[in-house]
Chain A
Amino acid sequence: MDTFPATLLALAITAPILVGLILLAGRDLPRSFASGFAFGGFAIPAVLSPWLLILWSNPSTAPQQFQSEGFWGFGFALNGLGAPLLAMTSLVGLAAGIKALTQEVEGRNTYLGLILFMLGGTLAVFGTNHLVGFYFFHEFALIPTFILTLFWGGEGRRPAAMQMAIYLTAGAMASLAGILIAIDASGVEYGVATFENVAQGLQNAKSIPAATGALVLFGLGTLASLFPFHSWAAPGYSAAPTPVSMLHAGALKKFGLYGIILLGLSSLDITGGSLGTWFLWFAVANVVLVGLICLTQRDLKQMLSWSSVAHMGPIFLGIWVCGVSGKADGLDAAAFLMVAHGLSCAALFLLANAVRARAGTYRLDELGGLATRTPILAALFIAATMASIGLPGFGNFWGEFGIFLALRAQPLWLQALVASTVVISAVYALRAVASTFFGPASEALEKRFAAAPFGDLGWAERFAAFILLGASLTIGFVPSLITKSVNPVAAGITTFSQHNAKAPVKAVKPATAAPTKR
């Protein structure tokens, strides 16, 4: 069999890790050499992963062709959900890498090396289908995140990094317990404990310990900032250096969701019973309450951080409704939004930092009128904002809208609550745009400009933003790029979870009367 795709996959994942190792070891490598090397580490996956996604969507390549043995017992393997996320992560990684390369920091090689570790670990999470590998690589990616935030972060980095570390470690422990119990209950040997095998095993298992679903849901939910385990997220993203915020909020966060889908949704019945009820209310709180919290933010980066928490709400609801309704549409849309949100969110963090570099502050009341000085920055920022609030043409639209459609059989009040995000997000996002870029230039800004004139967005950052927004536009215009890969997985998981669900789902369809109650 042609194992070319597997080689590509292994290369895409190991390249950043190897380069990261070299940079960590060679702290005194000359600057230009280190820069070129690091760029290679960022660029290789960004070239290979989209290629892999296209290969994966091509029906003539079999899934087995993407599997390799690997060095550490659990080899790399791609699945339909991982493939688009892998591509997204690599693009976010490239953009973050470009940003990191333009930054002047102390211990630059270590900094770059750690970011490469983050990237490699995240890629590996999406590029393995082994449960232990999933857990291992997620820690592998998170530990550099803590270190980077602690040492290279901005204001309030110490408490933020500590809080993040405690939350995420607690979440990781809960999820590890859940994963181990699940593997144990499934009766699958550890060596072959892939998502599929474990799901299959749990399918046939006589009994699954009751808390397993909750451990997996809330443990991994903490990673994905599920309400009320979200308190770490906003300060964490705000305090982290920009490339880390981009990677963390854009890509790393998604592996909580990835695990919830592939383990929790497929075989642990997380949407049934009282756990399902809690899940629903927490997800709704993510949409509504966190959305309202966004409205009160007076700081651009804080606002972005909170909004990145709020945008997880629809994704959770897409997962939830898939389990409840037994239809794959919610999961398809949720997966789409995971990819699209990664791109738009990373672009926003990138550009917000460019705003700060010019205006010297993130405070919205001190900003204003930046568009006259920096039209391109303004245009890109508005584009990214529009992407994040679900303007058609960008990928986020399909995800959000698909989730609203997937909720169609739910009570109207629930739909209305969830859909209210289109108004809430528009209010806070446009307010931020208006107070940053529109209106007359603020006095503080004019003073800064007079003291040290600043130019428009530099070429490197422009390129990084173009990559992210271009990718978002591409999947916005050609959504089948993602759905072709995700559809079979979602359909498979749905059949599986339906098999597993205790109570049959009611599918009442009134012919004439409006469905106000399910």
Chain B
Amino acid sequence: MPSDLSSLVHWILFLPLGAAALSALFLRRAGRIAAWLSTGVAFAIAGLSLQLLTSATAGALTWHVELAKFGSISLGFGYLIDANARLMLFVVSFVAAWIHLFSVGYMKDDQARGRFFAGLSIFMFSILGIVVADNLLMTFIFWELVGFSSYMLIAHYFDKDYAAAASKKAFIVNRIGDLGFILGIAMCLFLYDTLDFAALKDHAAAAGPVVPFAVGALLMCGFLGKSAQFPLHVWLTDAMAGPTPVSALIHAATMVAAGVYFMARVSFLLAPEVLHFIAISGAGMAALAGLCALAQTDIKKSLAYSTLAHLGIMGCAIGLGRPDLALMHMAMHAFFKATLFLGAGSVIHGCHHEQDMLKMGGLLKKMPLTAVTFIAATLSNCAVPFLAGWYSKDAIIEAAYHGGHIAIFAFLALAALATCLYSGRMIRLVFLGEANSEAASHAHESPWTMTLPLVVLGLVYSVAGGFLAHTIIPAGSLQPIGKALGEVAFHLTAPSTIVGLISLVIGFFGALKFYGSVRGADALQVVSPRTYHLLEHRWMDGLYHWYVDAVQRRLAEFVAFLDLLIINGVAVRWIGGGVPAVLGYLTGRSFHRGQTRAYALWIVVGTLFLAWFLIAR
């Protein structure tokens, strides 16, 4: 493989690290320069990734160097740029570049712009590292770094209690997943004596079709955390405490997709039982999260649940044994969900930081560009035929149907219906009708740095993405999803299409009508408060709170008490005070009566004893 391509990867990976270091160390007060530096770097990476994508060759690009050795374990650092990685690189860097541009406008008045853009750059470094990694160790390194950078970005408004709490929660929940991930890596090393993906694949192939259940199950834990899959999904909705571009970048387009990408990369290590679990839980979560999105008034939280639903769908595709479909959906989803989040950001910005959808309304006229792109992305989200979302989502539903997994199919169909419902609700509440608050009535369109990314991502990619991918970009470079694209092939009579169309019509238009019936409040809450409350989804958090408060903290306090009582109190104090006391009693306290002569006697006795010991030996 030509070395110039691997140096290309060096640039892609280390440019953002350099930008981050520069911003963090020297540009803390020069937010404007930091912003444009970071954005420039992001666009440069996007260009380089495009070059890598189009200069596709048949094999994978590899490059490896050994950093150090622990015993026989080689700690390696290297790249494995196969077709999946090329695609992922392109999607991540492209979406990220536009989000960077958006952030320039969105964060214009923020005091801590330098820190924010340094955070974005370090995040880029981390996520790109996961994409190019050629071994489990390096994946884990960047996996952790992604966790850290998302922690920093969520904590951007650190003087708010909720942001502090949300960042902590995101990091810790991710770490719980990583616990399993670490064990999985250790087990891989134990079983196959390597952490290298290529070597692992050979070993797994050589070992036959039976892969140890535990390996896959443990590696899956990391995926559950990072991709916010049940039961570790609780951090994602809270993570909306960060600035909106962060939500778009991390919690919609890239970070959560990293888990999906990783599962695709190690899919050969997943045992059938693991796949089955992922499929069922993914589909279940897709349906549940879709419905929960109906009971959120905060526009970003509603979108966060929508993301959870899509992640469930991607997980489901992995579980169905179709990582290619999952990747394709990841790519499509990245584009339209980024548009949705950026659109939401533009709306929030326009409405003077109002996030409550019930207080918006009638923004179609005031923010036309934002509205049009948002609606286009929404339609893509609802899988309107020939829009980007349709290609991938329907293919997954189709795969479930063909695989004969009726339960999964039913869940996915429910998820599709829920998607259309919450999308319709969102459009109705935010853009149609009349303004429901002072802020919304004075809304204004956002500057070009914010609308340009919306137009590019929203109109070009969300709408035409699938079509473009289908026709323009050379087929070879899209190898991983080429097959999936070919399969879809406009089966307008396929069950998935029928289900999709029915739910689209019923859900979308039903929601538009239903939510138009009540003004200034949520129609569902008015009609059925109990359903609404159930969907608000606080019980999972409640469960974890109960665990932390009632179980973990009490256990910790109990241990601390025991330590104080037994080790410090009984054992040490007893031995320390007890032994001399007993000896003193036995010897009539002749040890310490303050008589110099007695001490001298004991010295003599000790010396004689020592002499006897040395001579007798």
Contacts and interface: CB of A to CB of B under 8 A. Distances in A.
A and B: direct contact (Cβ < 8 Å)?
A: yes
Interface of A: 166, 228, 231, 289, 292-293, 295-296, 327-333, 336, 369, 371-372, 375, 379, 382, 386, 390-393, 397-398, 401-402, 404-409, 412, 415-416, 419-420, 422-423, 426-427, 430-431, 434, 437-441, 478-480, 482-484, 487, 490-491, 494, 509-516
Contact of A391 (B75, B148, B556, B557): B148
A423 B183 contact: no
B191 interface: yes
B185 interface: yes
A408 B568 contact: no
Interface residues of B, number: 62
B592 interface: no
B140 interface: yes
- 4 A-B pairs with the lowest CB-CB distances in the bound complex, closest first: A329-B71, A438-B164, A514-B214, A328-B71
B159 A369 contact: yes
Nearest to A166: B576
Contacts of A401: 137, 140, 182
B521 interface: no
Contacts of B75: 398, 402, 479
A407 B215 contact: no
Nearest to B28: A375
7 contacts: A332-B71, A369-B159, A404-B186, A480-B67, A494-B71, A512-B208, A515-B190
B172 A228 contact: no
Interface string B278-296: 0000000000000000000
A431 B70 contact: no
A483 B214 contact: no
A303 to B, nearest CB: 12
Contacts of A390: 144
Interface string B137-150: 10011101100100
Contacts of B159: 369, 371-372, 438-441
A124 to B, nearest CB: 28
A405 B158 contact: no
B559 A330 contact: no
Given A228-B571, A405-B186, A423-B179, A329 B555 contact: no
Contacts of B145: 391-393
Given A408-B190, A514-B212, A402 B70 contact: yes
Given A231-B568, A509-B191, A479 B172 contact: no
Q: Which of B67, B563, B567 has the most CB of A within 10 A?
A: B563
A422 B186 CA distance: 15
Contacts of A329: 70-73
Contacts of A487: 69, 71
A419 B183 contact: yes
Nearest to A420: B179
B213 interface: yes
Contacts of B525: none
A296 B179 contact: no
A293 B563 contact: yes
A426 B559 contact: no
A397 B69 contact: no
A479 B70 CA distance: 10
B231 to A, nearest CB: 15
Contacts of A382: 152
Nearest to B212: A514
A409 B160 contact: no
B171 A426 contact: yes
B580 to A, nearest CB: 12
Contact of B215 (A166, A416, A514): A514
Q: Which of B145, B172, B186, B207 has the most CB of A within 10 A?
A: B186
Given A431-B168, A509-B190, 5 more contacts: A408-B189, A423-B172, A438-B158, A438-B159, A512-B210
B522 interface: no
Nearest to B122: A393
B161 interface: yes
Contact of A490 (B71, B186, B214): B71
Nearest to B169: A430
Contacts of B171: 426, 430
A413 B71 CA distance: 24
B168 A430 contact: yes
Contacts of A478: 67
B141 A397 contact: yes
Contacts of B137: 401
A332 B70 contact: yes
A90 B178 CA distance: 34
B70 A511 contact: no
A231 B141 contact: no
Contact of B553 (A295, A372, A392, A490): A295
Contacts of B555: 292
B165 interface: yes
B5 interface: no
Nearest to A513: B212
Contacts of B553: 295-296
A510 B189 CA distance: 13
B268 to A, nearest CB: 14
A261 B86 CA distance: 47
B15 to A, nearest CB: 16
Interface string B57-68: 000000000011
Nearest to A416: B183
B456 interface: no
B175 A423 contact: yes
Contacts of A406: 70-71, 73
B67 A479 contact: yes
A332 B141 CA distance: 19
A392 B144 contact: yes
B552 interface: yes
A441 B165 CA distance: 15
A434 B70 contact: no
Nearest to B177: A423
B556 A296 contact: yes
Contacts of B28: 375
B230 to A, nearest CB: 19
Given A434-B168, A513-B212, A391 B571 contact: no
B8 to A, nearest CB: 21
Contacts of A332: 69-71
B611 interface: no
B10 to A, nearest CB: 14
Interface string B182-215: 1101110111000000000000000110101111
Q: Which of B67, B159, B208, B210 has the most CB of A within 10 A?
A: B159
B183 to A, nearest CB: 6
B604 interface: no
Contacts of B214: 412, 514, 516
A325 B503 CA distance: 60
A509 B212 CA distance: 13
B186 A415 contact: yes
Contacts of B152: 382
A510 B69 CA distance: 25
Nearest to A421: B179
Contacts of B175: 422-423, 426
B155 A438 contact: yes
B572 interface: yes
Contact of A386 (B148, B179, B187, B208): B148
Contact of B68 (A408, A441, A483, A509): A483
Contact of B559 (A292, A333, A372, A441): A292
B526 interface: no
A148 to B, nearest CB: 23
